[in-house]
Amino acid sequence: MTKTSNSSAGGSSKGDKKRKRGTRDALAPSPEPHSLRKNGVQRRGKKKAAAAGDAAQEQLMASAMRSTSVSPESENCKRRKKRKKVKKSKDSENGADPSSNATSSKEVDKPETQGQDFGTGDTQPLRESKNKLAQDIGLMIELLSQKKVPGAWAVKSSLVAWLTLGHERLTKECGTDAASAHIPGPVARLGDLVRHMPDRMEALSPAKKESYMAQLNKLCCSNLLPSMDYEQRLSKIIGILYIEEEIDAAARNEWSRLEQVLGLCSMIAESIGPPDEVVEEEMKNRLILARKMDIASLKKLMAAKMRCESLGL
């Protein structure tokens, strides 16, 4: 009896243990969801850590860029300062000191020499401009030497030295121009030739003389005349005088008059040139002799024509 009761009691206790274990296992969560949840937490933690690391790196890069780069406002300020400096430098170059009575360089009259005579006697506007500029520079030197210059004028001594040199050069040029003002220009020299050589002028046709003089005066006032040499001037004058007279002289057999016109062309070409021009006599003689040979050839041609006409050919 005792053994049977003990065995039944032991079996019931074992059964209870099994039932309790089964209930515990049924109530306990499955390992799979737990492991998945744990892994998800780990993954989310890794993502957060990576995001935090990226944000920190971006902050470091931004701070580095701010420390090494210049802000747009400072760049704009620098640009404005640079423009102001350029404007001040332009004002100082184009104008004089506002505290002085010197005339601005923009206000100095430009010499109107276009279409004028290139002789020194015809450059009055240029000489007046030089004199005015010399007076203005002298006034500026006097003001800089007497008044106390602000701290911005740190180059006062260099400026005074530069202005002094420029003033001396301008004064010399003005004195040279004034000394050589009596030298006549091409128009005046042409007029002297016409007045002092009336016998040479008689070789021209009286009806065309006024037209010739107008064309010669236009040539004397041309901007191209200063760059012409003797040969070029002679060619121009031959085109004005000689060609017209050659037709008339050939029709009338006035060959001596045509040679006089050729000599007049040579004298005019030499007189309207620069006063200090040196022309070789050999070259002048060669050019005149070439034209004389043309006259001789034309004379023979016209004689042959008249002979043929007399023979009825």
The closest alpha carbon to 259, from 212, 219, 312, 295, belongs to 295
The whole-number pLDDT of residue 274 equals 86
For residues 241 and 216, give the distance between their C-alpha atoms in angstroms, rounded to a whole number: 9
Given a contact cutoff of 8 angstroms between Cβ atoms, the answer to whether 134 and 168 are in contact is no
**130: nearest Cα among 112, 101, 109:** 109
Task: Tell me what pLDDT residue 233 has.
Answer: 92
Q: Is the pLDDT of residue 72 over 50?
A: no
Q: How far apart, in Å, are the Cα atoms of 188 and each of 50, 117, 177, 178, 302?
A: 98, 9, 18, 18, 39
How far does CA 152 lie from the centroid of its chain?
30
Which tens digits make up the pLDDT trace of 135-164?
Answer: 777 777 776 666 565 555 656 666 677 777
**CA geometry: angle 117, 123, 128, nearest 5 deg:** 160
pLDDT (tens digit per residue) in 38-56: 444 455 555 565 666 666 6
Q: How far apart are CA 45 and CA 50, in angstroms?
A: 9
Least confident of 16-30, 78-92, 138-152, 256-270: 16-30
**Which residues, in sequence order, are CB contacts of 138 under 8 Å at separation 6+?**
167
Model confidence at 79, pLDDT cuts 50, 70, 90, reads confident
Residue 297: pLDDT over 70: yes
Average pLDDT over residues 226-240: 90
Per-domain residue ranges for the chain?
Answer: 100-179, 186-310
Tokens of 71: 């802000």
The SS3 assignment for 74 reads: helix
Look at residues 180, 79, 173 and name the one whose alpha carbon lies nearest to residue 122.
180
For the chain, helix, strand, coil in percent to 5 are: 75, 0, 25
User: Which range has highest mean pLDDT (66-80, 181-195, 287-301)?
Assistant: 287-301
Mean pLDDT of the chain: 70
